[in-house]
Chains A and B, each alone.
Chain A
Amino acid sequence: MLPLPFLVVFPAVVAALLLLVPSDTWRRPIVWAGAALTGAASLSLLFLSPATGPFSIPAGYEMLTEGMFAAEMAIAVFLAYLGMKYRRYLAIFLILFQAGLLVYFERARAATGHEVAPDLFVDQLSLVMALIVGIIGGLICIYSLGYMATYHEKHPRVPDRRRSFFFLLFLFLSAMFGLIFSDYLPWVFFFWEVTTLCSFLLIGYSGTDESVKNAFLALNMNILGGIAFAGALIYLATVDPGGGLLHLHSLIRSGHAVALVPAVLIAFAGITKSALLPFSGWLVGAMVAPTPVSALLHSSTMVKAGVYIIVRFAPVLTGTMEGLIIGLVGGVTFLLASAIAISQSNAKKVLAYSTVANLGLIVACAGVGTYRLVWAAILLIIFHAIAKSLLFLCVGTVEHRIGSRDIEDMTGLIVRMPRISVMMFIGIAGMFLAPFGMLISKWAAIEAFIDAQFGLAFVAILAFGGSLTVLFWSKWMGKIISVCPVAERVENRISTEKWVVLTVLTALTVLVCLAFPLISAHLIEPFVLAVYGQTTRLSQDNITIMVMMLVLLMIMPFSLLLYRDEKRIVPAYMGGRPATPDLTFQGSMGVQRHVGLCNYYFEDVFGEKKLFMAGSALCFGLILIVGTLTAGVAL
């Protein structure tokens, strides 16, 4: 079983290499090769028996664990230094507090002197995650080559620190692999902290005041989660000095009585990391970073780590009041973030809020945690990762060509950048339309919630929240496909890297919809079966119908050929006024006027401020209740 340690170590080696090479000539082959190998290695996991249980790394357990502790301390010192430099005292306080907890835990752990073999393991859930991290993460790294070159042309004042940029990207992947393969919780925590560090540095890449501010916002919120995580470690070390419970699998198997408190603490860490309300601020703020960073954070790394850990602990949360409330935090987040997305015209912000919404839905599924919901949650993770990375990278490409990421400026993109528009169109369809991925998962979630305890509240949330998503995606779609007769085509000068990555992701979006029964049968169902003893799937005839719909959708565009010849193009109807194709018409008193078409944003109904405040207050309250309940259990 080479790939597991390989996947953790190899991206880190690539990262170190990238830190050394000074120019793009060398960086290019290294990134291509590194990403390709990482992707291939994660794919190769598919063919090694995924049923393999935990297995241990033979050498140097104590040394590795102590090395990690030393690294954690070094990170704390580094972060505290940055905190001093930028005078962020809250961050310094949080960092020191967390470091103190860690020192305490390390002493407690060392004092017992137990020898536990630390394990790396792979099961179908970690396999799914590994594929997402390896393939999508790798694609995003390749895309970044082209993007960052243009980025620095467009932002001459941002110092060119591409070396550390690519270093961080690959380090991020390495940490993600470590996170999903580790069974020993202190190791999970170490990789957890590395992802926090990487995202902090990447968000602050441009070094502007705004990016520094948002980077520290992300840091503070994530360290808050880190503190809860460290609390879980200390709790476990206190309850079970033997240290057996520090293993993920034995902890999850140990049942509600022991595992509930750490599960809730770690779920809280997951909530901060996956940016649910009231912590969504950091993810929305993170869009000041270069677009590939957003794509990475939203699709294959950071936020997925948060939901991954909650899905992991779903069996512990199932059927408990705590799990239900955590699910509600997710549900409320889904509803309100979807509503807020309606009021946004900045494409990246729409994407950010839709990510927050979908993560909310995943947490809602995992919190309530019946076997059918966990099935739906994993499906959501997969589909979201692919479609969202595609959308971010499309927006990044468009932004560089038209100089704006505002949806209002994307009018008639189908004429100006036809290929990108079609890809974007497929990506958006993938987010909400039948028979594409996200809709399949939402559908499964509705069906599963009906039979869950108190599921009715979630069904209502899905019914209303789901229709809200229809509104903001469709009006964006409408903007890009408006055929503006006078627009000019500007699709040239997009680098090969970008084309390759975008094409692959588009193909994946469609392929995964076609192949999802296979994915479900080979990856999701065995996992759910192993954990819950029963599993679920969509019924066969429904799958057949969905596939037929998809095929129908794919052949429909050919109908355009039918109409190629017989057409008389006329200008749009302007109430009988003489008008030109670009919508300039003869106004009163002989004045030429121009018509501008702008989407509705319903600021007064779905305004960000109002809804964010309400949602944060509600979710904060819910989290407080969970905290109180858990404290009750712990004492």
Chain B
Amino acid sequence: MDVLLAVLFVVLAPVIGGLVAGIDRKVTARMQGRVGPPLLQPFYDVAKLFEKEQILVTPSQNFYITAYLVFIVVSGALFFAGGDLLLVIFAFTLAHIFLVLGAYSAYSPYSFIGAERELIQIIAYEPMIIISAVGMYMVTRSFYVADIMAAKVPLISYLPGVFVGFLMVLTIKLRKSPFDLSTSHHAHQEIVKGVTTEFSGPMLGRVEIAHWYENVFLLGFIYLFFAANPPVAILVVAIVYFLEILVDNTYARVTWQLTLKSAWIIAGLMGLANLGILYYLSEVLHV
């Protein structure tokens, strides 16, 4: 366990996450032919949120959102400390359940629908994430991020299908169109702001910061596939994020049915098939 990296994550991830969000907005604006806000705009936004008055629908929301932020940080820190990938995933799920519960607790129509949709998204992406972890285990014989990082072989050459499947669920996780069902960064859409409808001021600020942490963790996951070659890995992470922005700007939102179906089909076709071939190669052919 590398505590230093975990501490670095806790301190730096919001900075990196905020910058990534700023770049995201800039690039998005350029794609749409706008100039876009300054790079540091996400920080200004969040700072402003923390200056606002605390307005609540119910005080218990505060608890759930704090727990959401705390467990996102915990799962990310575990990941960067080189911990067990499955435990990281379960802590990550726990964090999102808190976000969902926060939305439910408000007893409000928009956040209620957002919560239900968020749950659908969770069950859409979770199998693929677990399959990714299992795939990494099959190549490196370890669930520990530290061991996976230390692997001499580039994981991507064994797990191309898993990688593609992971990219698909990444779109869901980054809350990008076409899968931004439960909340998105574009205000007032079909379900207002979904899960986050009833959060305002400092509470919404915490949700934003948690999202930054989350994005850094997810990009770290992408990095793992190429960890054998760090420069390439960083390049790939940048390309992947750019592609996500491109997809975000070129696709309209789809229904939850299509989201669930496509995520599961991709998980089955790309993820499981990939694992099956790996299994066949190692068990039957002893490669």
Contact = CB atoms under 8 A, between A and B. Distances in A.
Nearest to A440: B90
B272 interface: yes
B110 A549 contact: no
Max count, chain B CB within 10 A of own CB: residue among A434, A468, A485: A434
Given A475-B116, A560-B59, A573 B197 contact: yes
Contact of B62 (A450, A478, A481, A560): A560
A341 to B, nearest CB: 12
Interface of A is mostly: helix
Nearest to A570: B55
A568 B197 contact: no
Nearest to A469: B123
Contacts of A553: 67
B131 A572 contact: no
Interface string B107-136: 111111001100110110011001100100
A595 B101 CA distance: 20
Contacts of A566: 54
B122 A446 contact: no
A484 interface: yes
A464 B127 contact: yes
A456 B122 contact: no
Contacts of A463: 126-127, 130-131, 134, 267
Given A446-B134, A549-B74, A471 B123 contact: yes
B63 A557 contact: yes
B43 to A, nearest CB: 24
A474 interface: yes
A574 B109 contact: yes
A569 interface: yes
B93 interface: yes
A105 to B, nearest CB: 43
A474 B182 CA distance: 15
Contacts of A443: 86-87, 90
A435 B94 CA distance: 9
B182 to A, nearest CB: 12
Contact of A573 (B93, B108, B126): B108
A2 interface: no
Contacts of B168: none
A597 B109 contact: yes
B93 A597 contact: no
A229 to B, nearest CB: 36
A143 B123 CA distance: 36
Interface in B1-25: 1
B62 A563 contact: yes
B255 to A, nearest CB: 12
A354 to B, nearest CB: 15
A545 interface: yes
B50 interface: no
Contact of A470 (B108, B119, B137): B119
B135 to A, nearest CB: 10
B111 to A, nearest CB: 8
A575 B197 CA distance: 10
Interface in B53-87: 53-60, 62-63, 66-67, 70-71, 74, 78, 83-84, 86-87
Contacts of A557: 63
B214 interface: no
A531 interface: no
Contacts of B134: 446, 450, 459, 463
B107 A482 contact: yes
A477 B102 CA distance: 11
A153 interface: no
Given A467-B122, A541-B1, A549-B91, A479 B104 contact: yes
B46 interface: no
B60 A483 contact: yes
Nearest to A596: B109
Interface string A556-584: 11011011101111111111000000010
Contacts of A446: 86, 130, 134
B279 interface: yes
A203 to B, nearest CB: 33
Q: Which of B1, B53, B59, B78 has the most CB of A within 10 A?
A: B59
A563 B60 CA distance: 9
Contacts of A414: 60
A635 interface: no
A599 interface: yes
B223 interface: no
Contact of B108 (A474, A569, A572): A572
B138 A450 contact: yes
Contacts of B56: 567-570
B119 A568 contact: no
A552 B68 CA distance: 12
A496 interface: no
Interface size, A (range): 35 or more
B116 A467 contact: no
Among B53, B104, B268, the one with the most A-chain Cβ atoms within 10 Å of its Cβ is B104
A572 B66 contact: no
Contact of A539 (B58, B84, B94, B264): B84
A412 interface: yes
B151 interface: no
Contacts of B268: 460
Interface in B229-272: 257, 264, 267-268, 272
A119 to B, nearest CB: 41
A475 B116 CA distance: 7
Contacts of B62: 559-560, 562-563
Interface in A430-447: 433-435, 439, 443, 446-447
B217 interface: no
B87 to A, nearest CB: 6
Given A545-B87, A546-B87, A552-B70, A583 B107 contact: yes
A466 interface: yes
A597 B122 contact: no
B159 to A, nearest CB: 14
A478 B104 contact: yes
B105 interface: yes
A559 B66 contact: yes
A597 B126 CA distance: 26
B126 A456 contact: no
Contact of A412 (B66, B83, B93, B107): B107
Contacts of B130: 446, 462-463, 466-467
B139 to A, nearest CB: 12
Contacts of B71: 549
B213 interface: no
A484 B106 CA distance: 8
A333 to B, nearest CB: 18
Given A462-B130, A563-B62, 5 more contacts: A459-B131, A463-B131, A474-B97, A559-B66, A568-B55
13 contacts: A447-B143, A456-B276, A459-B134, A470-B97, A474-B97, A478-B101, A483-B60, A545-B87, A557-B63, A559-B62, A570-B57, A595-B109, A600-B120
Interface of A: 411-412, 414, 433-435, 439, 443, 446-447, 450, 456, 459-460, 462-464, 466-468, 470-471, 474-475, 477-479, 481-485, 539, 541-542, 545-546, 549, 552-553, 556-557, 559-560, 562-564, 566-575, 583, 595, 597, 599-600, 605
Interface of B: 1, 53-60, 62-63, 66-67, 70-71, 74, 78, 83-84, 86-87, 90-91, 93-94, 97, 100-101, 103-112, 115-116, 119-120, 122-123, 126-127, 130-131, 134, 137-138, 143, 192, 197-198, 257, 264, 267-268, 272, 275-276, 279
Question: Shortest 10 CB-CB distances between A and B: which pairs?
Answer: A572-B108, A478-B104, A434-B90, A467-B126, A483-B58, A463-B127, A463-B130, A482-B107, A467-B123, A563-B62
